[in-house]
Structure 1
């Protein structure tokens, strides 16, 4: 009986003990929760309470705070601060979260080296630090993060090698190191990562290396991205051992030899990108990779035919084989692939006909097979799927008529059939297709009349060299967006419709060699953008309207072979024409004074009524009207005439002897006066430059000399000539700047550095001849309104550089400076980087100019001694005030000021209260004001604010007062190029059409999310 109470007591003691320990555990958990909340609040304080942290307050449990994930016990396991605008370093306290296994800080602005204190995060399995500003090397002891299965360090500024320790992370499934500054090797220990599924090392400048044969051991690898990683040599057959591979991208390398047969035996492969290499030979015949969805073998040296097995790829959506040497027929079976959307085979030697069923049972979107030798007709059913946007088949031997079924395709945006043998009437409904932007059908045998209305979306219409007839419809003005209209060499008749003059964006108008009559429309002042006007070889009559002189951008004018009459209006002399032809008309009177120049000696031929003061212009010399003759006696008149005759003969003989001797001496002096030194084959004669240094060609006048715009032929060739002079002798400072300019520009070549073609030397003068920059300087575009300046050709004064164009200019200038600092040996510092020394060509590509203050560094990174402060106020780095030794960091500072100019619209010395722009920008941030308040109101659109804010911060970073804390130009360029597509490839279109599709289009959605470009999800989309 006594055993029962003892047992009860034992049970009671056990339960009490259990409750005691459970209470202790609850207290411990409560303490842990309180500690973790304190850690988060410390993070909020250190990171200055970014907007997503607004929910971090006591009204909610911290497990419900934005970016925080907890386990069932209420302890933090995951932190995701993706794109939170964090600019400060990671606080080490984050590793006091004992259960943290997931950390995502991608798309921020975190700086510094790799945070090795993360080794203390003992459970960390997922680490994403991509798209930040980390620098330095990946540490050699990174294997201490032993539990990692996902490591993403992409799009940073890491340098050096990929360390061997990476191969010790045995649990790693994903390794992303793309878009860094690695300049060493990638470790062979990667092959030890037996669990690796995704390897991404693209866009790094590794030491040239072969594709590792050992990669065949990565049996679980599904995704391999090594675009632009300096791969050389042949691809090993062992690549076929990666049996799980689904995505293979080795584009933009220097791989050679044949494409391994084993690649096409990978039966799970979906995306194969081997573009822009040096592969040769034929494409393997045996294809077992029936899962393939996208193939890009463009820009190689492949020969032979497309294998018949390609017709078995029922999942194929994209087929790109452009720019090779492929030949033979395009297999008809390709036209039956049900998933095919895009086919691009241009710039090959294909023959035969296009697959007749192409488009019939598929949703075909784009076909580009230009520059081949194809025959036959266009397939009848290209638009059967109703989504066709582009038909680009120019430069083949195609013929027949264009079926009306194509005209029913409302989705079409681009139709390019030029240089073929098409005939018959062009489909009426295609002319007015609602989305049609580019219509190019030149050099065929199309006939018939133009419809009353064309598509309103058209920007380029090229129908020249056909057999079109009838009148040009007046409602052509309905196509209000037309930029280029070429309809020469047809059979058009009637008058030029006056409504044609209402097209505001027209830059090129060519109606030459038709049967047009009547007068040139007089109301042409709306053609503010017109650069080229060709109405030659018609039957036009009447006078040239004086309003033509008001077209500010017109540089090419051809009205030859008409029946035009009257005087040539003096207003034409206002134009800065590089080509003028008014020959074979019925003009009368004196030509405008501005054309009394040998450059226009062939511009007025076969106009018997014209005259000129210059006898060398192939025109009769103008003679003043004679005064009424005095009445003299016959004898006195005879004496005067006889005496005058004798005097004339003596004078003529003396003048002849004098002129002959003078010309001989002058010729010898001129030859001795100027010495020409050329850096390339010159497209002009020496005399063309020297004879055109006239006042009418003057475009700039500064303290060191003058700048001239000199046309050198009638095809639009123009150069800029800078004349450095002194009345007595060359100034020592100017001579030093001249020598620096010649020494540097004569030895370097880069697409973003202005090209010095040649120079002339004489005893007192120097001439520097450069390529001409049509859009002058960035400074003029940014600040013209404040200074009352005019844009090129005094036009478009309301024009504003939008943000995409400013970014394009910024990247170009950065590329030029990066080349000078990083790739030149010895390195070059410019010392006068400013917006007025960034010139812009016709496409707004940037060129660094004015190297008069530049210096070559004896050793990269070692300061160069200077004797005096050089540069311009507002752009000068602070170290000029306390040292005579400078390095490339002075250029970084000046470029940072240019970045601030671009995003704020302010001038370099516009900081208010006697401060510079850089000081103003620093103070703006110091005061805690939003960056968006500092941005240029003219271009501030929601879709660009994120990018503009980044560039503003980059400008701040570049203008740091300490040179050592400024980034290198390579790092600056790395940041800027995040905003352009990773694999942007130029597609060769007819004439000047922009690219529509790139290989980057086919990246997976997962891959696309890693691109920091203008279409990231967090930026409002813009319609451009």
Structure 2
């Protein structure tokens, strides 16, 4: 029998030993954490500065990001490391897993990079939670051995992992959460994931899988509460087995290619809170069984091919967001939809709904966004839409709505966006309606609204678009409109406004479009309008304006549309207007007189000058020629002298050159002049000789033509004549249609086109320094005004940076400011030309295509091309396998150009290695541009003196300062954004310009 005293002593000794062990264990965890921090991680923001071992700081449980299990008295052990969002750099810290009690690692939203190797990862086999979202890890997905039997949560979202999902993932039998969203993975959606019966969440969204169906075995995942397969290239029908997931709360299959009908069995998802099926190809009727889903709060089946009427049971659901837009639904809108107390977002636009809108819409719920546009609704607007004071957007354009705008809308202080165009509204607009804090007010076209604009419109401080054309508004335009400094668009056309234009219009510095045609405005055009330097369109036609045309209009730098026709303007046409780059110019039907300025003495402007009996100019029948003033006795002598000189010049020209063309164009030939020029086609075609050829391409030959005036032109003669070569015809048509109307300082100017029966040519401004590709990749000498030439090696970074900013601005104009938007489809360094000052021009629009712009969000429709066009090395990856192209395809190509400028190498230079282009090379180099984790410090030899060493990426021909290295690092970040594998992650060109111009580096 054991002595009680002995037993008590033994237990005390055991507790003492355990306490000592835990203390030693705690000290050991601290050593591990401290060692990993020093050797594997960089902490530029000092978030882990308390990870140091000192006399009174040896317990890691008090350190940042560390969680311990302290249930055992006098001791604690590290169980969790959470460093999410701490801006940590480095590779995967395998050493953390030497802490035997560690079960949770969260390193999301940092800058960790490199691959994750399976061998050292085996240290972490006891881990239960591993979250690495939002980093830069690359290579294959990490493999997990059978020892990872306890892994419950695996999240690797928003990294750069490639390849297929490994088979071993189907053997992680304890896994409850698998999140691989937004990685450039390949293969198909793997059916073996259907073996993970413990899963509650499966996220495989925004992954470019090969076209594949939803595996029907996923119906075995009966514990799933969330299934996200958004934008994952799914095809085929939705399997019925998915409808067996009784615990499913979120079903997201949006942005795929799913076909067939929505299964009636969807009504079995009794727990579902959200269903996202938008942007597919689903057809048939909306299943009435959806009305059985009493927990459903968000339903989006928009952008499909659904037909039939909206079932009353579905309309009666207590949804928060209800999106049926862009389908083919018909019939009336059930009144029961207005009884929903939860309704916030209601979008049913672009359907064929008929009947009246339920009167009580908004009375029982706080509707925020209401869009019923492009349907066939009639009757009056619902008077209670803003009853709960939550309404922000009301969009009802393109219907047959009638009656007055409800007075209650004027008191809706939350309302900031109104579009009611193309209806049959009438009556006066409530005064308070004009005073709302709107950003856009559109009441245009086919309405019959009346009244005047009150001075109190100045309260709408943030109004950027005022569009009320085609109504019966009258009265004077209040001067208080000039207080709206954010105004970009003013369209008051086709009304009955009177009085004069406010002189204070010069205060509207952001104004881009001013349309006031077809009113009764009088007075003079204020010269102060020249202060509106962003103005691109000015239309004051069909009014009663008098006085002279202000010469100051010629100072508007981006004006390309000027229509002053059908007024009572007098005086001469100011020669200052020749400074403008106009797509549309019209001063017809006025009282103008005098000689037409030389630049407007062209056929293309004839109709724009008619109706001014006292204008004169040569060769513009029926406009009379101006009378010459020389005395009669000199006329004969001058005429004979001119004939002699002209005859001699022609003889000399015939002797000195051998033209490629044997005869002049026939009378049926067509010449179109797009810019002010001092030459004709007859000055050009004799010089299209072999000795003047400077280049050739798939569509024709390019010549350097120097005129007698000293002007140098670039002339592209296309292969064959009209109808002989389809690809040549397409290039000609594309260049003429696009460049003929585009005006921008960073886009090459098309001066003239000649379309003859036997040959055709296009005339451009000549760019002395050729293309950016020539300058970067050849020994071409660069010409400038100050020097005869300079060596290619002196193309310094400042010049390169200036070139890319200009080129980006040109592309941004095509994507965002051109109407319709234009996608270039062949952006490359050889299509960026450089003038004598090294200013860039985007050129070669033979493959360019216009895109249709959607009304609601301003994004361009994706166009499908019959074949892949562009240049190898610059083509966006999605273009190769989908043949779909939009602005983001150009953004990718521009990103490649940025990398060319930084590296000085061609996109497919052999120095990158086998199966590797400039994008992969730059991506890997950028990820490896941090010092080795084992060094524990930044690279002191780095030219930047920073954590990133991008020296091996930079063109060695450049000698760079510290500031220039920082600028290159910023441009590199922009380039990597532009060349993202996922179009959705690429910035717009407008954003690219903004990022390049920012003084600080990208965060």
Compute the TM-score of the two structures, normalised by the length of structure 2.
0.72
Q: Distance in 1 between matches of 2:437 and 2:675?
A: 53
Query: How do residues 118-129 of structure 1 correspond to structure 2 at under 5 angstroms?
Result: 118-129=121-132
Whether the 8 Å CA contact 1:876–1:893 is kept in 2: the answer is: no
1:923 aligns with 2:943: yes
- Alpha-carbon distance between aligned partners in 2 of 1:426 and 1:191, rounded to the nearest angstrom: 60
Give the C-alpha shift of residue 243 in structure 1: 0.3
Q: Which residue of 1 aligns with 2:51?
A: 56
Residues 693 and 585 from structure 1, CA distance in 2 versus in 1: closer, same or farther, beyond 3 angstroms?
closer
CA RMSD of aligned residues (A): 5.7
- Counterpart position of 1:945: none
Question: Would you say the 8 A contact 2:206–2:230 is kept in 1?
Answer: yes
Paired residues of 1:829 and 1:855 also in contact (CA < 8 A): no
Output aligned runs, 1:168-183, within 5 Å: 168-183=171-186
* Deviation sequence 1:386-444 (CA, Å, 0-9, x none): 01011100000000111110111111111111010000101110011134533344331
Specify which of 3, 12, 17 is matched with residue 10 of structure 2: 17
Paired residue secondary structure (1:461): strand
1:606 aligns with 2:611: yes
Q: Distance in 2 between matches of 1:561 and 1:923?
A: 65
2:67 to 52, 69, 89: 69
User: Which position in structure 1 is the counterpart of 2:625?
Assistant: 621
Deviation at 1:547, TM superposition (A): 1.1
Matched residue SS, 1:453: helix
**Cα gap change, 1:283/1:197 in structure 2, threshold over 3 Å: closer, same or farther?**
same
| Secondary structure of residue in 2 paired with 1:602 | helix
**Structure 1 residues not aligned, in runs of 5+:** 1-6, 631-640, 676-683, 698-703, 708-719, 729-733, 810-814, 822-827, 861-869, 900-918, 932-947, 959-968, 982-991, 995-1013
Whole-angstrom distance in 1 between the partners of 2:7 and 2:216:
65
CA–CA separation in structure 2 for the residues paired with 1:514 and 1:27: 93
Q: Return the alpha-carbon distance in structure 1 between the equivalents of residues 436 and 364 of structure 2.
A: 23
Q: How much has 1:489 moved relative to structure 2?
A: 1.1
Residue aligning to 1:429: 432
The correspondence of residues 350-365 of structure 1 with structure 2, limited to 5 A, is 350-365=353-368
CA–CA distance in structure 1, aligned partners of residues 104 and 91 of structure 2: 18
Match of 2:200 among 188, 197, 203: 197
Cα distance in structure 1, aligned partners of 2:348 and 2:35: 58
Deviation at 1:725, TM superposition (A): 2.2
**1:114 Cα shift?**
2.7
User: Which residue number in structure 1 is paired with residue 26 of structure 2?
Assistant: 33
User: Aligned equivalents of 2:523 and 2:15: distance in 1?
Assistant: 104
Range with greater deviation from structure 2 (32-41 or 185-194): 185-194
Q: Deviation string for 1:3-57 (max 9, x for gaps)? A: xxxx5x7333333433443333333222211211111111221213442101223
Task: State the match for 1:113 in structure 2.
Answer: 115
1:297 aligned onto 2:276: no
Q: Is the 8 A contact 1:148 1:169 kept in 2?
A: yes
Residues 455-854 of structure 1 aligned to structure 2 (within 5 Å)? 455-613=460-618, 615-616=619-620, 618-625=622-629, 627=631, 687-688=671-672, 724-725=703-704, 767=762, 839=842
Partner SS for 1:594: helix
Structure 1 residues 443 and 215, CA gap change in structure 2 (3 angstroms): same
Aligned counterparts of 2:557 and 2:297: Cα–Cα separation in 1: 51
Partner of 1:225: 228
2:138 aligns with one of 135, 140, 144: 135
How far off is 1:230 after superposition?
Answer: 1.3
CA 1:957–1:556 in structure 2 vs 1: closer, same or farther (change >3 Å)? Answer: closer
Q: How many Å separate the matches in 2 of 1:409 and 1:108?
A: 44
1: CA distance between counterparts of 2:507 and 2:796?
28
Which structure has more relative contact order (CA 8 Å, sep 6+)? It is 2
Written as runs of structure 1 = structure 2, the 5 A alignment for 1:838-987 is: 839=842, 875-877=903-905, 889-890=917-918, 923-926=943-946, 952=969, 955=972, 972-974=979-981, 978=985
For 2:566, what is the secondary structure of its paired residue?
Answer: coil
* Alpha carbons of structure 1 residues 528 and 344: separation in structure 2 relative to 1, 3 Å: same
CA–CA distance in 1 between the matches of 2:236 and 2:540? 56
1:312 and 1:282, CA in 2 relative to 1: closer, same or farther beyond 3 A?
same
Contact 2:970 2:1002 (8 Å CA) reproduced: no
Is the 1:163–1:186 Cα contact (8 Å) retained in structure 2? no
Distance 2:978 2:675 in 1: 46
How far, CA to CA, are the matches of 1:735 and 1:626 in structure 2?
41
Pair 686,264 (structure 1): closer, same or farther in 2 beyond 3 Å: farther
Distance 1:569 1:755, change over 3 A: closer
Q: What is the CA distance between 1:570 and its match in structure 2? A: 1.4
Mapped contact 2:443–2:467 kept (Cα < 8 A): yes
Report the Cα distance in structure 1 between the residues aligned to 2:379 and 2:941, rounded to whole angstroms. Answer: 64
Query: Counterparts in 2 of 1:407-418, with a 5 A limit?
Result: 407-418=410-421
Deviations 1:574-596 (Å, cap 9, x if unpaired)? 11111111111111101111212
Residue 162 of structure 2, aligned match among 159, 162, 166: 159
Alignment partner of 1:387 out of 375, 390, 395? 390
Give the deviation of 1:119 after TM superposition.
2.4
Tell me how far apart the structure 1 counterparts of residues 23 and 287 of structure 2 sit (CA, whole Å): 66
Partner residue in 2 for 1:92: 94
Q: How many residues align?
A: 836
Q: Which residue in 2 is equivalent to 1:327?
A: 330
- Aligned pairs for 1:989-1000 within 5 A: none
* Displacement after TM superposition at 1:216 (Å): 1.5
Q: Which region of structure 1 is more displaced relative to structure 2, 15-24 or 454-463?
A: 15-24
Tell me, yes or no, if the aligned pair for 2:969 and 2:1001 is still in contact at 8 Å: no
Displacement, 1:65? 0.6
* 8 Å Cα contact 1:164-1:188 kept in structure 2: no
Kindly indicate whether residue 77 of structure 2 is the aligned counterpart of residue 82 of structure 1.
no
Q: How does 1:263-278 map to 2 (within 5 A)?
A: 263-278=266-281
Contact 1:830 1:891 in 2 (8 A): no
Q: List gaps (5 residues or longer) in structure 2.
A: 682-691, 708-714, 721-726, 739-745, 776-794, 817-821, 851-857, 863-868, 881-897, 928-938, 952-964
Conserved in 2, the CA contact under 8 Å of 1:721 and 1:768?
A: no
* CA drift at 1:816: 10
What do the CA deviations read for 1:265-305 (whole angstroms, capped 9, x no partner)?
31211111100111111001232101111111111000001
**3-state secondary structure, aligned to 2:599:** helix
1:610 match: secondary structure: strand
Change in 2 beyond 3 A, CA 1:759/1:76: farther
TM-aligned CA distance change 1:558 to 1:452, over 3 Å = same
Partner of 2:779: none
Which shifted more, 325-334 or 126-135?
Answer: 126-135
Structure 1 residue 86: deviation in Å?
A: 2.4
CA offsets, 1:217-236, max 9 Å, x none?
Answer: 11111111101111111112
The change in CA–CA distance for 1:351 and 1:588 in structure 2 (over 3 A counts) is same
Secondary structure of the structure 1 residue equivalent to 2:531: coil
Q: TM-score, normalised by structure 1?
A: 0.70
For residues 497-544 of structure 1, the C-alpha deviation after alignment (integer angstroms, 9 at most, x for no partner) is: 212332111111111111111211122221111111111111111111
Q: Judging changes above 3 Å, is the alpha-carbon distance between structure 1 residues 95 and 760 closer, same or farther for their aligned structure 2 residues? A: farther
Kept in 2: contact 1:588–1:609 (CA 8 A): yes
Q: 215-224 vs 495-504, which deviates more?
A: 495-504
